[in-house]
Amino acid sequence: MGFNLLTLFYLIGSVTFIMGLKMLSHPETARKGNLLAAFGMILSIFGTIFLYEDNGTPLHNYPWIFGALMIGTLAGVMAAKKVKMTAMPEMVSLFNGMGGACAALISIVEFRHITAPFSLPGWHVLLSNNDSAGLYIPIMLGLIIGSISFAGSMIAWGKLNGRINDLSFKGQQAFNIVLFLAMLLVSGYLIGWLDSANYLLFYVVFIAAIVYGVLFVLPIGGADMPVVISLLNSFTGVAAACAGFLYHNQVMLTGGILVGAAGTLLTTLMCRAMNRSLWNVLIGSFGGNTAIAGAAGVAGSYKEISITDAAVVMAYAHKVIIVPGYGLAVAQAQHTCHELELLLQEKGVEVTYAIHPVAGRMPGHMNVLLAEADVSYDKLLEMEVANEQFRSTDVVLILGANDVVNPAAKTDPASPIYGMPILEVEQAKTIIVNKRSMKPGYAGIENALFFQPKTSMLFGDAKAALQKLVAEIKNL
């Protein structure tokens, strides 16, 4: 009875994961999809705790199990409540790294169970040596992929919050490739040599995977971090799927496959949006030390616009497109931006938002930011759609975006972002750019757009500038 009910719980959990992922594809259903998937996870967890049996013996050590659940739940809730929207990418990296660490620890524990069966208080052999042949592969894969995901996510977390700078050395690409191949060769040896409990080589692979994860992310430029976060997320999913295969746990397997597949597809889309190859990501040469290249050569003078002039231009426009960027998130100005949108609409102005796939610091950052302010999803235009509408747009208001509107991506072969699809805002009649200063964006290069005749600079904090703009428009 317990086994059949547990199987049913796993089936329900797997179905809720699939349905939840589908609902996450639209902002209007994303919240419900998240709750539905969470329900399936809770059902699977408690089903495992109370219904799982190993040779007729149920799980024990409930104080340890529920103690860990309470600590993890408390830490997760506190982190989610305190995190600022600007720090959301950092939290995603941190939580993703924890998932990779769990998968790696599972591999370490099960390797010991298989190669050195022993009995200690609270321990028991889950797997026999006769079963070990087909389990070495998921153990080694979980160890390597989980360790890379953990180490890489920790470096990504440090780079996003400014604690770690880009760092690379001559021949790093070749070293990364050699290190990765060496891990595979040693793992192949351990898989084929089933009678040898070679702990030394096993932990050498573990350490090598940690080192590779660090070197894999360390040289990557900040502007390319959305792709890296997506890729590391897919790694964690694959590592979790290996653990599910190891334990014959259907819900872990399904969840891991879904995360791995979704992360891989998103990574491919991010690479396409950044005009990068996935191969360069895998060998750890993604945007490293190229940020300053091509920064020179941008000359000219810029012009400023006052709040009053900006308010007049926007209030009497027929069509306005707002381009949100990281500066909007830093200023936490999404609610004021929505207020501006509603105010312009009252005056008969058509207002929409142009969303670049890699705007911000993680995939979907701007979508989440605007959804928090209750901006209608119908107002969010994807890059391809927005580019078709800029020619008929009277005013483009750029709020903290930089690299994703830089025309150098189309005109300057020496630029590190050359070939990257951008929002072609230069086609609009008037361009207003809100920035704190003329400091280059996250890619470290100047933006020629700021020096074009149709562009006017509105300096200042995004929230303060938008509040003044709203007040001025109300007085017109």
* Residues marked as catalytic: 403
Q: Which helix (H) or strand (E) holds 350?
A: strand 350-355
Residue 34: strand, helix, or coil: helix
Report the length, in residues, of the chain: 476
4: left (phi over 0), alpha (psi -120 to 50) or beta: alpha
End-to-end CA distance of the chain: 73
Task: DSSP for 56-112, please give it.
Answer: TEEP--HHHHHHHHHHHHHHHHHHHHH--GGGHHHHHHHHHHHHHHHHHHHHHHHHH
Residue 242: strand, helix, or coil: helix
Residue 247: strand, helix, or coil: coil
Return all residues near 114 (Cβ < 8 A) that are at least 6 apart.
Answer: 127, 129, 131, 132, 135, 136, 139
Query: CA 66: distance to chain centroid?
Result: 30
Alpha carbons 209 and 355: distance in angstroms, whole number: 36
Alpha carbons 352 and 337: distance in angstroms, whole number: 11
Alpha carbons 25 and 35: distance in angstroms, whole number: 14
Tell me how crowded residue 391 is: count the other CB atoms within 10 A of its CB: 10
Q: Which helix (H) or strand (E) holds 190?
A: helix 172-192
Handedness of CA 165, 166, 167, 172 (dihedral sign): positive
Q: Are 320 and 395 in contact (CB under 8 A)?
A: yes
Alpha carbons 290 and 257: distance in angstroms, whole number: 34
Question: Which of 383, 447, 455 is CA-nearest to residue 409?
Answer: 447
Return all residues near 155 (Cβ < 8 A) that are at least 6 apart.
Answer: 164, 213, 214, 217, 218
Residue 475: strand, helix, or coil: helix
Q: What is the largest CA-CA distance in the chain?
A: 83
Question: Which of 402, 323, 404, 436 is CA-nearest to residue 369?
Answer: 323
At residue 263, what is the residue type? G
Pairing of strands 319-324, 57-58: unpaired
